[in-house]
Chains A and B, each alone.
Chain A
Amino acid sequence: NAGVTQTPKFQVLKTGQSMTLQCAQDMNHNSMYWYRQDPGMGLRLIYYSASEGTTDKGEVPNGYNVSRLNKREFSLRLESAAPSQTSVYFCASSPRQQNQPQHFGDGTRLSIL
Chain B
Amino acid sequence: GQQVMQIPQYQHVQEGEDFTTYCNSSTTLSNIQWYKQRPGGHPVFLIQLVKSGEVKKQKRLTFQFGEAKKNSSLHITATQTTDVGTYFCAGRGTSYGKLTFGQGTILTVHP
Contact B101 A101 (CB under 8 A): no
CA distance A105 to B30 in the complex (A): 26
Within 8 A of B (CB), among A28-82: 35, 40-45, 48, 58-59
Residue A99 is within 8 A (CB to CB) of chain B in the complex: yes
Main secondary structure of the interface of A (DSSP, over half): loop
CB contacts under 8 Å to A, within B36-90, are 41-45, 48, 50, 88, 90
In the complex the two chains form, is A104's CB within 8 Å of B44's CB?
yes
Chain A, interface residues (CB within 8 Å), range: 20 to 34
Within 8 A of A (CB), among B90-107: 90, 92, 95-96, 98-104
- Whether B45 lies near A42 (C-beta < 8 A) is no
Given the known A-B contacts A43-B88, A43-B101, A48-B98, are A101 and B45 also in contact in the complex, defined by CB atoms under 8 Å?
A: yes
Please list the residues of chain A having a beta carbon within 8 angstroms of any beta carbon in chain B.
35, 40-45, 48, 58-59, 90, 92, 97-99, 101-107
